[in-house]
Structure 1
Amino acid sequence: MSLAMRVVRSEYTKVISTRMWWVLALVMFGYVGLSTAGISLVFGLNLGGDGGGAPGTPPGGPSFDPSALPPLIYSFASSIGYVFPLLIGALAVTNEFRHQTLTPTFLASPRRGPVLGGKLANGLLFGALYGIVGLLASVGIGALILSLLDIDPLLGESDTWALIGRVVLAMALWGAIGVGVGTLIPSQVGSIVVILAFTQFLEPILRLAASFVDVLGEVAQYLPGAASDALVGASFFAVAGPMTGPALQWWQGGLVLAGYAVLFTVLGFVTSWRRDVT
Protein backbone atom coordinates (compact mmCIF):
# COMPACT_ATOMS: atom_id res chain seq x y z
CA MET A 1 0.00 0.00 0.00
CA SER A 2 1.39 3.42 -0.96
CA LEU A 3 2.16 6.14 1.57
CA ALA A 4 -0.74 8.27 0.31
CA MET A 5 -3.26 5.44 0.74
CA ARG A 6 -1.93 4.62 4.23
CA VAL A 7 -2.27 8.24 5.29
CA VAL A 8 -5.79 8.56 3.87
CA ARG A 9 -6.84 5.34 5.58
CA SER A 10 -5.32 6.47 8.87
CA GLU A 11 -7.12 9.82 8.74
CA TYR A 12 -10.37 8.09 7.84
CA THR A 13 -10.03 5.80 10.87
CA LYS A 14 -9.45 8.81 13.12
CA VAL A 15 -12.71 10.40 12.01
CA ILE A 16 -14.94 7.33 12.30
CA SER A 17 -13.42 6.33 15.65
CA THR A 18 -15.34 9.15 17.33
CA ARG A 19 -19.08 9.78 17.58
CA MET A 20 -18.87 13.33 16.30
CA TRP A 21 -19.22 12.49 12.60
CA TRP A 22 -22.48 10.57 12.90
CA VAL A 23 -23.89 12.88 15.59
CA LEU A 24 -23.39 15.85 13.26
CA ALA A 25 -24.91 13.83 10.41
CA LEU A 26 -28.03 13.09 12.48
CA VAL A 27 -28.37 16.72 13.55
CA MET A 28 -27.95 17.79 9.94
CA PHE A 29 -30.64 15.38 8.75
CA GLY A 30 -33.09 16.69 11.34
CA TYR A 31 -32.26 20.34 10.66
CA VAL A 32 -32.49 20.07 6.89
CA GLY A 33 -35.53 17.79 7.10
CA LEU A 34 -37.54 20.09 9.37
CA SER A 35 -36.60 23.17 7.34
CA THR A 36 -37.49 21.40 4.10
CA ALA A 37 -40.85 20.23 5.46
CA GLY A 38 -41.78 23.71 6.67
CA ILE A 39 -40.81 25.53 3.50
CA SER A 40 -42.34 22.86 1.26
CA LEU A 41 -45.66 23.18 3.06
CA VAL A 42 -45.65 26.98 3.10
CA PHE A 43 -44.64 27.38 -0.55
CA GLY A 44 -46.66 24.40 -1.78
CA LEU A 45 -49.88 25.35 -0.04
CA ASN A 46 -49.65 28.97 -1.16
CA LEU A 47 -48.75 27.94 -4.68
CA GLY A 48 -51.75 25.66 -4.86
CA GLY A 49 -53.97 28.04 -2.98
CA ASP A 50 -53.56 31.11 -5.14
CA GLY A 51 -53.56 29.38 -8.50
CA GLY A 52 -49.92 29.89 -9.36
CA GLY A 53 -49.13 33.21 -7.76
CA ALA A 54 -45.88 33.68 -5.94
CA PRO A 55 -45.91 32.21 -2.46
CA GLY A 56 -47.05 34.77 0.04
CA THR A 57 -48.37 37.22 -2.56
CA PRO A 58 -52.01 38.23 -3.01
CA PRO A 59 -54.04 37.08 -6.03
CA GLY A 60 -52.97 38.94 -9.12
CA GLY A 61 -49.37 39.25 -7.87
CA PRO A 62 -46.30 38.19 -9.81
CA SER A 63 -46.40 34.66 -11.18
CA PHE A 64 -44.31 31.83 -9.74
CA ASP A 65 -43.31 28.94 -11.96
CA PRO A 66 -44.14 25.67 -10.14
CA SER A 67 -41.16 24.01 -11.84
CA ALA A 68 -38.85 26.34 -9.88
CA LEU A 69 -40.07 25.02 -6.54
CA PRO A 70 -38.50 21.51 -6.46
CA PRO A 71 -34.92 22.74 -7.16
CA LEU A 72 -35.40 25.41 -4.51
CA ILE A 73 -36.49 22.79 -1.97
CA TYR A 74 -33.80 20.24 -2.88
CA SER A 75 -31.02 22.83 -2.62
CA PHE A 76 -31.74 23.13 1.12
CA ALA A 77 -29.25 20.26 1.56
CA SER A 78 -26.43 22.66 0.71
CA SER A 79 -27.84 26.17 1.21
CA ILE A 80 -28.45 25.60 4.93
CA GLY A 81 -26.59 22.32 5.50
CA TYR A 82 -23.11 23.36 4.36
CA VAL A 83 -22.05 24.32 7.88
CA PHE A 84 -21.96 20.63 8.89
CA PRO A 85 -19.23 19.41 6.49
CA LEU A 86 -17.43 22.65 7.27
CA LEU A 87 -17.47 21.76 10.97
CA ILE A 88 -16.48 18.10 10.56
CA GLY A 89 -13.56 19.13 8.34
CA ALA A 90 -12.34 21.66 10.89
CA LEU A 91 -12.79 19.24 13.80
CA ALA A 92 -10.74 16.59 12.00
CA VAL A 93 -7.76 18.95 12.32
CA THR A 94 -8.41 20.84 15.55
CA ASN A 95 -9.06 17.64 17.51
CA GLU A 96 -5.48 16.65 16.81
CA PHE A 97 -4.14 19.96 18.09
CA ARG A 98 -6.41 19.88 21.14
CA HIS A 99 -5.56 16.33 22.18
CA GLN A 100 -1.94 16.56 20.93
CA THR A 101 -2.29 13.44 18.79
CA LEU A 102 -0.34 15.19 16.03
CA THR A 103 2.89 14.25 17.79
CA PRO A 104 2.54 10.47 17.21
CA THR A 105 1.04 11.19 13.78
CA PHE A 106 4.12 13.13 12.69
CA LEU A 107 6.43 10.56 14.26
CA ALA A 108 4.74 7.86 12.18
CA SER A 109 4.60 10.09 9.07
CA PRO A 110 7.37 12.71 9.31
CA ARG A 111 6.38 14.30 6.00
CA ARG A 112 3.64 16.68 7.04
CA GLY A 113 2.41 17.47 3.54
CA PRO A 114 1.00 13.99 2.87
CA VAL A 115 -0.69 14.00 6.29
CA LEU A 116 -2.49 17.22 5.45
CA GLY A 117 -3.31 15.80 2.02
CA GLY A 118 -4.89 12.80 3.72
CA LYS A 119 -7.03 15.09 5.81
CA LEU A 120 -8.11 16.99 2.69
CA ALA A 121 -9.06 13.74 0.96
CA ASN A 122 -11.17 12.75 3.94
CA GLY A 123 -12.67 16.23 4.10
CA LEU A 124 -13.87 15.76 0.53
CA LEU A 125 -15.12 12.25 1.33
CA PHE A 126 -17.09 13.17 4.44
CA GLY A 127 -18.33 16.36 2.80
CA ALA A 128 -19.80 14.27 -0.02
CA LEU A 129 -21.28 11.88 2.57
CA TYR A 130 -22.94 14.79 4.35
CA GLY A 131 -24.22 15.97 1.00
CA ILE A 132 -25.95 12.61 0.52
CA VAL A 133 -27.41 12.79 4.03
CA GLY A 134 -28.70 16.30 3.37
CA LEU A 135 -30.22 15.20 0.07
CA LEU A 136 -31.98 12.28 1.75
CA ALA A 137 -33.69 14.89 3.91
CA SER A 138 -34.34 17.63 1.35
CA VAL A 139 -35.22 15.45 -1.64
CA GLY A 140 -36.88 12.66 0.31
CA ILE A 141 -39.10 14.87 2.44
CA GLY A 142 -39.50 17.65 -0.12
CA ALA A 143 -40.53 15.36 -2.98
CA LEU A 144 -43.01 13.56 -0.75
CA ILE A 145 -44.71 16.76 0.37
CA LEU A 146 -44.76 18.22 -3.14
CA SER A 147 -46.34 15.02 -4.46
CA LEU A 148 -49.01 15.11 -1.75
CA LEU A 149 -49.76 18.70 -2.80
CA ASP A 150 -50.09 17.64 -6.46
CA ILE A 151 -46.93 19.48 -7.47
CA ASP A 152 -44.57 17.63 -9.80
CA PRO A 153 -41.33 16.88 -7.86
CA LEU A 154 -39.46 16.65 -11.19
CA LEU A 155 -37.49 13.57 -10.14
CA GLY A 156 -37.66 12.31 -13.71
CA GLU A 157 -35.85 15.37 -15.08
CA SER A 158 -32.13 15.29 -15.89
CA ASP A 159 -31.74 18.86 -14.64
CA THR A 160 -32.91 17.77 -11.20
CA TRP A 161 -30.30 15.01 -11.02
CA ALA A 162 -27.62 17.38 -12.27
CA LEU A 163 -28.52 19.71 -9.41
CA ILE A 164 -28.34 16.79 -6.96
CA GLY A 165 -24.86 15.92 -8.25
CA ARG A 166 -23.72 19.53 -7.86
CA VAL A 167 -25.01 19.55 -4.27
CA VAL A 168 -22.77 16.57 -3.46
CA LEU A 169 -19.82 18.32 -5.13
CA ALA A 170 -20.46 21.56 -3.22
CA MET A 171 -20.68 19.73 0.10
CA ALA A 172 -17.46 17.84 -0.65
CA LEU A 173 -15.71 21.16 -1.25
CA TRP A 174 -17.12 22.51 2.01
CA GLY A 175 -15.53 19.57 3.82
CA ALA A 176 -12.17 20.49 2.27
CA ILE A 177 -12.67 24.14 3.24
CA GLY A 178 -13.30 22.99 6.81
CA VAL A 179 -9.92 21.21 6.83
CA GLY A 180 -8.31 24.42 5.60
CA VAL A 181 -10.02 26.50 8.29
CA GLY A 182 -8.99 24.02 10.99
CA THR A 183 -5.40 24.13 9.77
CA LEU A 184 -5.38 27.91 9.68
CA ILE A 185 -7.09 28.26 13.09
CA PRO A 186 -5.88 25.27 15.13
CA SER A 187 -7.79 26.35 18.24
CA GLN A 188 -10.93 24.20 18.30
CA VAL A 189 -13.05 26.80 20.06
CA GLY A 190 -11.66 29.56 17.86
CA SER A 191 -12.36 27.75 14.60
CA ILE A 192 -15.91 26.80 15.63
CA VAL A 193 -16.67 30.37 16.70
CA VAL A 194 -15.31 31.77 13.44
CA ILE A 195 -17.24 29.24 11.35
CA LEU A 196 -20.55 29.84 13.10
CA ALA A 197 -20.12 33.62 13.24
CA PHE A 198 -19.29 33.87 9.54
CA THR A 199 -21.79 31.37 8.16
CA GLN A 200 -24.75 32.22 10.38
CA PHE A 201 -24.34 35.98 10.81
CA LEU A 202 -21.67 37.81 8.81
CA GLU A 203 -22.17 36.35 5.34
CA PRO A 204 -26.01 36.39 5.46
CA ILE A 205 -25.86 40.06 6.46
CA LEU A 206 -23.41 40.86 3.66
CA ARG A 207 -25.55 39.01 1.12
CA LEU A 208 -28.67 40.82 2.32
CA ALA A 209 -26.88 44.15 1.96
CA ALA A 210 -25.72 43.10 -1.51
CA SER A 211 -29.34 42.82 -2.62
CA PHE A 212 -29.64 46.59 -2.23
CA VAL A 213 -26.16 47.93 -3.08
CA ASP A 214 -24.74 47.36 -6.56
CA VAL A 215 -21.08 47.55 -5.53
CA LEU A 216 -21.57 45.02 -2.76
CA GLY A 217 -23.42 42.73 -5.18
CA GLU A 218 -20.39 42.51 -7.45
CA VAL A 219 -18.17 41.54 -4.50
CA ALA A 220 -20.58 39.38 -2.51
CA GLN A 221 -20.99 36.85 -5.32
CA TYR A 222 -17.46 35.69 -4.48
CA LEU A 223 -18.32 34.95 -0.87
CA PRO A 224 -18.08 31.19 -0.18
CA GLY A 225 -21.81 30.72 0.49
CA ALA A 226 -22.78 32.66 -2.62
CA ALA A 227 -20.26 30.69 -4.70
CA SER A 228 -21.71 27.45 -3.32
CA ASP A 229 -25.22 28.51 -4.30
CA ALA A 230 -23.98 29.42 -7.77
CA LEU A 231 -22.39 25.97 -8.11
CA VAL A 232 -25.61 24.23 -7.05
CA GLY A 233 -27.75 26.45 -9.26
CA ALA A 234 -30.57 27.10 -6.79
CA SER A 235 -30.89 28.60 -3.33
CA PHE A 236 -33.59 29.84 -1.01
CA PHE A 237 -31.40 32.83 -0.17
CA ALA A 238 -31.31 33.86 -3.83
CA VAL A 239 -35.11 33.99 -3.84
CA ALA A 240 -35.35 35.76 -0.49
CA GLY A 241 -32.87 38.44 -1.46
CA PRO A 242 -31.23 38.17 -4.90
CA MET A 243 -27.96 40.05 -5.13
CA THR A 244 -27.50 42.85 -7.62
CA GLY A 245 -25.07 42.40 -10.47
CA PRO A 246 -24.32 39.39 -12.69
CA ALA A 247 -24.31 35.96 -11.03
CA LEU A 248 -21.53 33.41 -11.33
CA GLN A 249 -21.96 30.40 -13.61
CA TRP A 250 -22.07 27.02 -11.85
CA TRP A 251 -18.52 26.11 -12.84
CA GLN A 252 -17.25 29.52 -11.74
CA GLY A 253 -18.89 29.01 -8.36
CA GLY A 254 -17.15 25.65 -8.09
CA LEU A 255 -13.76 27.17 -8.91
CA VAL A 256 -14.26 29.93 -6.33
CA LEU A 257 -15.25 27.38 -3.68
CA ALA A 258 -12.25 25.17 -4.50
CA GLY A 259 -10.07 28.27 -4.39
CA TYR A 260 -11.11 28.93 -0.79
CA ALA A 261 -10.17 25.37 0.15
CA VAL A 262 -6.73 25.73 -1.45
CA LEU A 263 -6.15 29.21 0.00
CA PHE A 264 -7.02 28.32 3.60
CA THR A 265 -5.07 25.05 3.44
CA VAL A 266 -1.93 26.67 2.04
CA LEU A 267 -2.08 29.50 4.59
CA GLY A 268 -2.62 27.00 7.38
CA PHE A 269 0.26 24.83 6.18
CA VAL A 270 2.64 27.80 6.08
CA THR A 271 1.58 29.14 9.49
CA SER A 272 0.43 26.53 12.00
CA TRP A 273 1.00 23.14 10.34
CA ARG A 274 4.79 23.51 10.14
CA ARG A 275 5.22 24.58 13.76
CA ASP A 276 6.32 22.34 16.60
CA VAL A 277 3.30 20.67 18.19
CA THR A 278 4.94 19.65 21.46
Structure 2
Amino acid sequence: MSLAAATRSETTKQFSTAMWWVLALVLAIYVGFTAAVLGFVFSAAATGSLPGDGPPLPEEGLASVLYSTATSVGYVFPLLIGTLMVTSEFRHKTLTPTFLATPHRGRVLWAKLLVGVLLGVLYGVVGIVAAAGASAGFLAGFGLDTELTSPEIWAQLGRMLLAYVLWVLVGIGVGALVRNQVGAIVGVLVFTQFLEPVGRAAASFVEGLSQVTQFLPGAASDALVGASVFAVSTPEGSAVLEWWEGGLVLLGYAVVLVLLGHLVSWRRDVS
Protein backbone atom coordinates (compact mmCIF):
# COMPACT_ATOMS: atom_id res chain seq x y z
CA MET A 1 0.00 0.00 0.00
CA SER A 2 1.39 3.42 -0.98
CA LEU A 3 1.80 6.31 1.46
CA ALA A 4 -1.16 8.10 -0.16
CA ALA A 5 -3.38 5.04 0.27
CA ALA A 6 -2.16 4.51 3.83
CA THR A 7 -2.93 8.16 4.62
CA ARG A 8 -6.44 7.86 3.19
CA SER A 9 -6.98 4.73 5.24
CA GLU A 10 -5.68 6.45 8.37
CA THR A 11 -7.92 9.47 7.75
CA THR A 12 -10.97 7.23 7.45
CA LYS A 13 -9.94 5.35 10.57
CA GLN A 14 -9.57 8.48 12.70
CA PHE A 15 -12.70 10.29 11.53
CA SER A 16 -14.99 7.24 11.59
CA THR A 17 -15.03 7.17 15.41
CA ALA A 18 -16.47 9.64 17.89
CA MET A 19 -13.20 10.19 19.76
CA TRP A 20 -11.93 13.08 17.65
CA TRP A 21 -15.06 15.20 17.89
CA VAL A 22 -15.70 14.35 21.55
CA LEU A 23 -12.24 15.61 22.48
CA ALA A 24 -12.71 18.63 20.21
CA LEU A 25 -16.00 19.44 21.95
CA VAL A 26 -14.45 19.12 25.41
CA LEU A 27 -11.55 21.29 24.21
CA ALA A 28 -13.94 24.02 23.06
CA ILE A 29 -15.91 23.96 26.32
CA TYR A 30 -12.86 23.82 28.58
CA VAL A 31 -10.85 26.50 26.78
CA GLY A 32 -13.91 28.68 26.18
CA PHE A 33 -14.94 28.57 29.83
CA THR A 34 -11.40 29.23 31.08
CA ALA A 35 -10.91 32.10 28.62
CA ALA A 36 -14.27 33.60 29.59
CA VAL A 37 -13.48 33.52 33.32
CA LEU A 38 -9.99 34.95 32.81
CA GLY A 39 -11.33 37.46 30.30
CA PHE A 40 -13.79 38.80 32.85
CA VAL A 41 -11.31 38.88 35.75
CA PHE A 42 -8.40 40.33 33.77
CA SER A 43 -10.55 42.89 31.96
CA ALA A 44 -12.16 43.99 35.21
CA ALA A 45 -8.74 44.22 36.87
CA ALA A 46 -7.32 46.23 33.96
CA THR A 47 -10.13 48.78 34.20
CA GLY A 48 -10.15 48.94 38.00
CA SER A 49 -13.60 47.38 38.21
CA LEU A 50 -12.69 44.73 40.73
CA PRO A 51 -13.43 45.39 44.41
CA GLY A 52 -10.48 46.12 46.64
CA ASP A 53 -7.34 48.21 46.35
CA GLY A 54 -5.25 45.89 44.22
CA PRO A 55 -3.18 47.50 41.47
CA PRO A 56 -4.82 47.27 38.03
CA LEU A 57 -3.38 44.99 35.40
CA PRO A 58 -1.67 46.76 32.50
CA GLU A 59 -3.78 46.86 29.35
CA GLU A 60 -0.80 46.35 27.07
CA GLY A 61 -0.48 42.74 26.01
CA LEU A 62 -3.65 41.71 27.81
CA ALA A 63 -5.39 40.43 24.65
CA SER A 64 -2.32 38.40 23.72
CA VAL A 65 -2.24 36.73 27.14
CA LEU A 66 -5.95 35.92 27.07
CA TYR A 67 -5.86 34.47 23.55
CA SER A 68 -2.93 32.25 24.55
CA THR A 69 -5.32 30.35 26.82
CA ALA A 70 -5.93 28.10 23.80
CA THR A 71 -2.43 26.69 24.11
CA SER A 72 -1.39 27.33 27.71
CA VAL A 73 -4.34 25.33 29.11
CA GLY A 74 -5.60 23.51 26.01
CA TYR A 75 -2.42 21.86 24.73
CA VAL A 76 -3.23 18.63 26.57
CA PHE A 77 -6.04 17.89 24.08
CA PRO A 78 -3.91 17.67 20.90
CA LEU A 79 -1.39 15.74 22.98
CA LEU A 80 -4.09 13.27 24.01
CA ILE A 81 -5.56 12.81 20.52
CA GLY A 82 -2.08 12.11 19.16
CA THR A 83 -1.49 9.53 21.87
CA LEU A 84 -4.88 7.91 21.29
CA MET A 85 -4.26 7.69 17.53
CA VAL A 86 -1.64 5.03 18.27
CA THR A 87 -2.51 3.44 21.60
CA SER A 88 -6.12 2.76 20.59
CA GLU A 89 -4.79 0.57 17.78
CA PHE A 90 -2.74 -1.47 20.22
CA ARG A 91 -5.67 -1.71 22.61
CA HIS A 92 -8.26 -2.77 20.03
CA LYS A 93 -5.83 -4.95 18.03
CA THR A 94 -6.47 -3.03 14.79
CA LEU A 95 -2.76 -2.70 14.03
CA THR A 96 -2.55 -6.35 12.98
CA PRO A 97 -4.72 -5.98 9.85
CA THR A 98 -3.12 -2.57 9.22
CA PHE A 99 0.37 -4.08 9.16
CA LEU A 100 -0.85 -6.97 7.02
CA ALA A 101 -2.21 -4.51 4.47
CA THR A 102 0.88 -2.27 4.74
CA PRO A 103 3.92 -4.39 5.69
CA HIS A 104 6.14 -1.29 5.65
CA ARG A 105 5.49 -0.16 9.21
CA GLY A 106 7.33 3.10 8.77
CA ARG A 107 4.81 4.03 6.09
CA VAL A 108 1.97 3.47 8.55
CA LEU A 109 3.67 5.74 11.06
CA TRP A 110 4.20 8.42 8.39
CA ALA A 111 0.49 8.21 7.55
CA LYS A 112 -0.37 8.79 11.19
CA LEU A 113 1.94 11.80 11.30
CA LEU A 114 0.32 13.32 8.20
CA VAL A 115 -3.17 12.83 9.60
CA GLY A 116 -1.86 14.16 12.91
CA VAL A 117 -0.98 17.43 11.18
CA LEU A 118 -4.57 17.66 9.93
CA LEU A 119 -5.96 16.98 13.40
CA GLY A 120 -3.56 19.50 14.89
CA VAL A 121 -4.82 22.21 12.56
CA LEU A 122 -8.43 21.25 13.29
CA TYR A 123 -7.94 21.27 17.07
CA GLY A 124 -5.95 24.47 16.81
CA VAL A 125 -8.79 26.26 15.04
CA VAL A 126 -11.27 25.01 17.65
CA GLY A 127 -9.06 26.09 20.56
CA ILE A 128 -8.21 29.49 19.08
CA VAL A 129 -11.82 30.33 18.22
CA ALA A 130 -12.96 29.27 21.70
CA ALA A 131 -10.28 31.30 23.49
CA ALA A 132 -10.36 34.40 21.30
CA GLY A 133 -14.14 34.46 21.01
CA ALA A 134 -14.76 34.22 24.74
CA SER A 135 -12.05 36.61 25.92
CA ALA A 136 -12.49 39.18 23.13
CA GLY A 137 -16.13 39.56 24.13
CA PHE A 138 -15.14 40.61 27.66
CA LEU A 139 -12.34 42.86 26.42
CA ALA A 140 -14.80 44.70 24.19
CA GLY A 141 -17.41 44.75 26.93
CA PHE A 142 -15.02 46.56 29.27
CA GLY A 143 -13.96 48.98 26.54
CA LEU A 144 -10.53 47.44 26.01
CA ASP A 145 -8.80 46.87 22.69
CA THR A 146 -9.29 43.33 21.37
CA GLU A 147 -6.30 43.84 19.03
CA LEU A 148 -7.88 41.49 16.50
CA THR A 149 -6.71 43.78 13.69
CA SER A 150 -3.10 43.69 14.90
CA PRO A 151 -0.59 41.81 12.70
CA GLU A 152 1.26 40.75 15.87
CA ILE A 153 -1.85 39.05 17.21
CA TRP A 154 -2.44 37.21 13.94
CA ALA A 155 1.20 36.10 13.94
CA GLN A 156 0.65 34.79 17.47
CA LEU A 157 -2.48 32.91 16.38
CA GLY A 158 -0.46 31.32 13.58
CA ARG A 159 2.19 30.18 16.07
CA MET A 160 -0.57 28.79 18.29
CA LEU A 161 -1.80 26.72 15.34
CA LEU A 162 1.76 25.43 14.83
CA ALA A 163 1.96 24.55 18.54
CA TYR A 164 -1.20 22.44 18.25
CA VAL A 165 0.26 20.53 15.30
CA LEU A 166 3.51 19.88 17.16
CA TRP A 167 1.64 18.67 20.25
CA VAL A 168 -0.26 16.10 18.17
CA LEU A 169 3.06 14.85 16.78
CA VAL A 170 4.48 14.64 20.31
CA GLY A 171 1.42 12.60 21.28
CA ILE A 172 1.94 10.22 18.37
CA GLY A 173 5.52 9.73 19.53
CA VAL A 174 4.34 9.01 23.07
CA GLY A 175 1.75 6.53 21.78
CA ALA A 176 4.29 4.76 19.60
CA LEU A 177 6.72 4.48 22.50
CA VAL A 178 4.24 3.52 25.25
CA ARG A 179 1.91 0.87 23.87
CA ASN A 180 -0.35 0.62 26.90
CA GLN A 181 -3.19 3.12 26.46
CA VAL A 182 -3.97 3.59 30.14
CA GLY A 183 -0.30 3.98 31.02
CA ALA A 184 0.27 6.49 28.22
CA ILE A 185 -2.76 8.62 29.11
CA VAL A 186 -1.98 8.59 32.83
CA GLY A 187 1.62 9.50 32.09
CA VAL A 188 0.56 12.38 29.85
CA LEU A 189 -1.89 13.76 32.41
CA VAL A 190 0.51 13.41 35.36
CA PHE A 191 3.32 15.14 33.49
CA THR A 192 1.29 17.96 31.96
CA GLN A 193 -1.03 18.65 34.89
CA PHE A 194 1.33 18.03 37.81
CA LEU A 195 5.04 17.43 37.20
CA GLU A 196 5.78 20.21 34.73
CA PRO A 197 3.57 22.86 36.41
CA VAL A 198 5.24 22.10 39.77
CA GLY A 199 8.68 22.25 38.17
CA ARG A 200 7.97 25.57 36.48
CA ALA A 201 6.50 26.99 39.68
CA ALA A 202 9.57 25.89 41.63
CA ALA A 203 11.76 27.65 39.07
CA SER A 204 10.28 30.93 40.29
CA PHE A 205 11.88 30.43 43.71
CA VAL A 206 15.13 28.62 42.93
CA GLU A 207 17.82 30.69 41.28
CA GLY A 208 19.02 29.23 38.01
CA LEU A 209 16.31 26.56 37.78
CA SER A 210 14.45 28.47 35.08
CA GLN A 211 17.46 27.89 32.83
CA VAL A 212 16.47 24.20 32.91
CA THR A 213 12.68 24.39 33.02
CA GLN A 214 12.56 26.63 29.95
CA PHE A 215 13.35 23.52 27.93
CA LEU A 216 10.35 21.56 29.23
CA PRO A 217 7.75 20.94 26.49
CA GLY A 218 5.04 23.14 28.00
CA ALA A 219 7.49 26.00 28.54
CA ALA A 220 8.76 25.59 24.99
CA SER A 221 5.19 25.72 23.71
CA ASP A 222 4.54 28.94 25.63
CA ALA A 223 7.75 30.40 24.22
CA LEU A 224 6.69 29.46 20.69
CA VAL A 225 3.34 31.19 21.17
CA GLY A 226 5.00 34.21 22.78
CA ALA A 227 2.45 34.58 25.57
CA SER A 228 0.89 32.55 28.36
CA VAL A 229 -1.60 33.06 31.15
CA PHE A 230 1.01 31.55 33.48
CA ALA A 231 3.49 34.30 32.57
CA VAL A 232 1.39 36.77 34.58
CA SER A 233 2.74 35.22 37.80
CA THR A 234 6.26 34.60 36.48
CA PRO A 235 8.92 36.91 37.93
CA GLU A 236 10.70 39.19 35.49
CA GLY A 237 14.11 37.88 34.57
CA SER A 238 13.06 34.23 34.35
CA ALA A 239 14.68 32.48 31.42
CA VAL A 240 12.41 32.29 28.38
CA LEU A 241 13.30 30.97 24.94
CA GLU A 242 12.75 32.96 21.75
CA TRP A 243 9.63 31.89 19.84
CA TRP A 244 11.63 30.06 17.17
CA GLU A 245 13.77 28.35 19.80
CA GLY A 246 10.62 27.18 21.58
CA GLY A 247 9.31 25.78 18.30
CA LEU A 248 12.55 23.91 17.65
CA VAL A 249 12.57 22.45 21.18
CA LEU A 250 8.98 21.24 20.84
CA LEU A 251 9.74 19.84 17.38
CA GLY A 252 12.77 18.12 18.88
CA TYR A 253 10.57 16.39 21.45
CA ALA A 254 8.29 15.17 18.66
CA VAL A 255 11.15 13.90 16.51
CA VAL A 256 12.94 12.12 19.36
CA LEU A 257 9.78 10.47 20.67
CA VAL A 258 8.67 9.31 17.21
CA LEU A 259 12.12 7.93 16.42
CA LEU A 260 12.36 6.15 19.78
CA GLY A 261 8.85 4.77 19.33
CA HIS A 262 9.73 3.47 15.88
CA LEU A 263 13.01 1.91 16.99
CA VAL A 264 11.96 0.52 20.37
CA SER A 265 8.28 -0.36 20.07
CA TRP A 266 6.82 0.08 16.60
CA ARG A 267 8.83 -2.75 15.01
CA ARG A 268 8.01 -5.27 17.73
CA ASP A 269 5.49 -8.05 17.17
CA VAL A 270 1.83 -7.14 17.57
CA SER A 271 -0.31 -9.72 19.32
User: What TM-score range do you get, normalising by the shorter chain?
Assistant: over 0.9
Q: Which runs of 4+ in 1 moved over 6 A?
A: none
Q: Within 1, Cα distance between the matches of 2:237 and 2:143?
A: 34
Asked if 1:130 corresponds to 2:129, the answer is no
CA spacing shift, 1:168–1:217, aligned 2, 3 Å: same
Count residues in correspondence.
271
Structure 1: give runs of 5+ residues left out of the alignment.
Answer: none
Query: Could you tell me whether the CA contact under 8 Å between 1:210 and 1:244 is conserved in 2?
Result: no
Structure 2: give runs of 5+ residues left out of the alignment.
Answer: none
CA spacing shift, 1:106–1:215, aligned 2, 3 Å: same
Q: Within 1, Cα distance between the matches of 2:82 and 2:5?
A: 19
1:4 maps to amino acid:
L
Q: Within 1, Cα distance between the matches of 2:150 and 2:64?
A: 11
Query: 1:68 matched to which residue of 2?
Result: 61
Q: TM-score, normalised by structure 2?
A: 0.96
Q: Match of 1:215, SS?
A: coil
Query: 1:12 matched to which residue of 2?
Result: 11
Q: Which residues of 2 match residues 1-278 of structure 1 at below 5 A?
A: 3-49=2-48, 58=53, 61=55, 64-242=57-235, 245-278=238-271
How much does 1:13 deviate?
Answer: 1.0
Q: Within 2, Cα distance between the matches of 1:243 and 1:198?
A: 25
CA RMSD, aligned part only?
A: 1.6
Q: Match of 1:92, SS?
A: helix
CA spacing shift, 1:47–1:56, aligned 2, 3 Å: farther
Query: Could you tell me whether the CA contact under 8 Å between 1:212 and 1:243 is conserved in 2?
Result: no
How much does 1:32 deviate?
Answer: 0.4
Q: Match of 1:211, SS?
A: coil
Quick one: percent identity of the two aligned structures?
53
Deviations 1:209-234 (A, max 9, x none): 01111231100000000000000000
Q: Within 2, Cα distance between the matches of 1:242 and 1:167?
A: 23
How much does 1:247 deviate?
Answer: 1.3
2:70 maps to amino acid:
A
Q: Within 2, Cα distance between the matches of 1:238 and 1:148?
A: 24
